[in-house]
Copies of this chain bind each other. A is one copy, B any other.
Amino acid sequence: MTDAGRVVLATGDDPLVLEHGGHLDHVEVAYETWGELAPARDNVVFVCHALTGDAHAGGEGGWWANLVGPGRPLDTDRFHVVCANLLGGCRGTTGPSSPDPATGRPWGLDFPLLTVRDLVAVHRRLLTHLGVERLHAAIGGSLGGMQVLQWAVDDPAAIDRAVLVAASSRLSAQGIAFSAVARDAIMRDPDFQGGRYVGSGRRPDHGLAVARRMAHITYVSEGSLEAKFGRDRIADGPPTHATDFQVEAYLDHQAEVFLARFDALSYLYLTRVMDYFDPFSDAGAAARAGSGGTDFLVVSFDTDWRFPTAQSRRIHDHLAAAGARSRHVEIASPWGHDSFLLEPPGYHDVVRQHLVRHPG
């Protein structure tokens, strides 16, 4: 059973109060579910999506369709899988391009800056709306894994099993630097218009395309780009300023597909959420995350240079040192950070096994 819906989870009477002050009087959330909810409501697996994902994790064209489905690790014959578009996103959930209820115009840069805690607060409201108190599991890759970690810190009793894939508890200086270049490319695009582009007929597509092209390079390993494209050209001939190497055409294609489905303001807001994420700067966070008995699995990939294994190990080390149940598994994969969307040997098995482990 697949279901898709949109639900209002904050109103003027029940606003979403944000971590850094301010509040949102209207939050609408797009979500999808797969599999039957058990009568005891104890078989829910919540999927937290990454920076540019959306609620459509499973089913035809789902970004995690290899993981979500009948007989898959997130087995929809057994689990009720839920995925919601993030707060700040642009795929059905309220974000900076949504209308500001106070003015009726798109928020733009007047939308408040968010934190991972704010994103998780919306997930928690969604669970309440669905009548679910406790998750069989929460799972996410990259920014999705950050949400799972924050969720365990904020509501330790809510999650039986947590799976953090290719995640980080804090970006490195290099990670912040890549983010800064991407955000700069967007904000300095004249079509960005100070964030007031929605409805103007002009979007900062050039800036967003530059951001995506650059980010995509960091999502894949040097070796996988080399194996796939090397120095192959589209056609023989003298040098040209135009797209000529196949890897250039590949980046062009990635940017084109991305522009059709994503919004520059959401990109700004959600990358900034990642820049500031640093839960273990609160000395009590790891102990809180473990205090509900959550069983953590932290997965990393050996060729991931955007969120390298050392960053996953740091999550595990903090949790374990605070007495939480945690395992870290590094998977060998040629594909870099994007491995969390693919099926390198061993990855799906370790997730599958973790989701059926007995708690306690």
Per the bound structure, the CA–CA distance linking A264 and B337 in Å amounts to 32
B177 touches A225 (CB 8 A): yes
A113 touches which of B210, B241, B245, B275 (Cβ 8 Å): B241
B239 touches A113 (CB 8 A): yes
A214 touches which of B172, B176, B190, B214 (Cβ 8 Å): B214
- B-contacting 9-mer, from A63-71, A153-161, A180-188: A180-188
A174 adjacent to chain B (CB < 8 Å):
yes
CB-CB contacts of A200-219 with B at 8 A, as 1s and 0s?
Answer: 00000010011001100100
CB distance from A264 to the nearest CB of B (A): 12
B239 touches A210 (CB 8 A): no
CB distance from A251 to the nearest CB of B (A): 6
A213 touches B248 (CB 8 A): no
A231 touches B278 (CB 8 A): yes
Residue of B nearest to A222 (CB): B174
Given A210-B210, A230-B173, the answer on whether A181 and B251 have CB atoms closer than 8 Å is yes
- B residues in contact with A229, CB < 8 Å: 173
B176 touches A239 (CB 8 A): no
A21 adjacent to chain B (CB < 8 Å):
yes
Given A20-B238, A245-B275, the answer on whether A222 and B115 have CB atoms closer than 8 Å is no
Number of copies: 2
- B residues in contact with A226, CB < 8 Å: 172-174
Per the bound structure, the CA–CA distance linking A210 and B265 in Å amounts to 18
Given A109-B241, A214-B214, the answer on whether A222 and B172 have CB atoms closer than 8 Å is yes
The A273-314 residues at the B interface (CB cut-off 8 A) are 275-276, 278, 305
A241 touches B210 (CB 8 A): no
- B residues in contact with A176, CB < 8 Å: 231, 245, 247-248
A213 touches which of B20, B184, B209 (Cβ 8 Å): B184
A241 touches B183 (CB 8 A): yes
Instruction: Specify which of A176, A189, A190, A243 lies most central, judged by the most chain B CB atoms within 10 Å of its CB.
Output: A176
Given A238-B21, A240-B113, the answer on whether A247 and B184 have CB atoms closer than 8 Å is no
A348 adjacent to chain B (CB < 8 Å):
no
B239 touches A115 (CB 8 A): yes
A173 touches which of B20, B172, B228, B268 (Cβ 8 Å): B228
- B residues in contact with A278, CB < 8 Å: 231
- B residues in contact with A109, CB < 8 Å: 241
A37 adjacent to chain B (CB < 8 Å):
no
- B residues in contact with A245, CB < 8 Å: 173, 176, 180, 275
- B residues in contact with A189, CB < 8 Å: 206
- B residues in contact with A251, CB < 8 Å: 177, 180-181
A262 adjacent to chain B (CB < 8 Å):
no
A177 touches which of B21, B206, B247, B276 (Cβ 8 Å): B247
Residue of B nearest to A109 (CB): B241
17 cross-chain CB contacts under 8 A: A113-B238, A173-B222, A173-B245, A174-B222, A174-B225, A177-B213, A177-B247, A180-B248, A181-B213, A183-B241, A185-B210, A188-B210, A189-B206, A190-B190, A210-B210, A222-B305, A239-B275
Residues of chain A having any CB pair with chain B under 8 Å: 20-21, 109, 113, 115, 170-174, 176-178, 180-181, 183-185, 187-190, 206, 209-210, 213-214, 217, 222, 225-226, 228-231, 238-241, 243, 245, 247-248, 251, 268, 272, 275-276, 278, 305
Closest 5 CB pairs of A and B: A173-B225, A113-B239, A188-B206, A20-B238, A180-B248
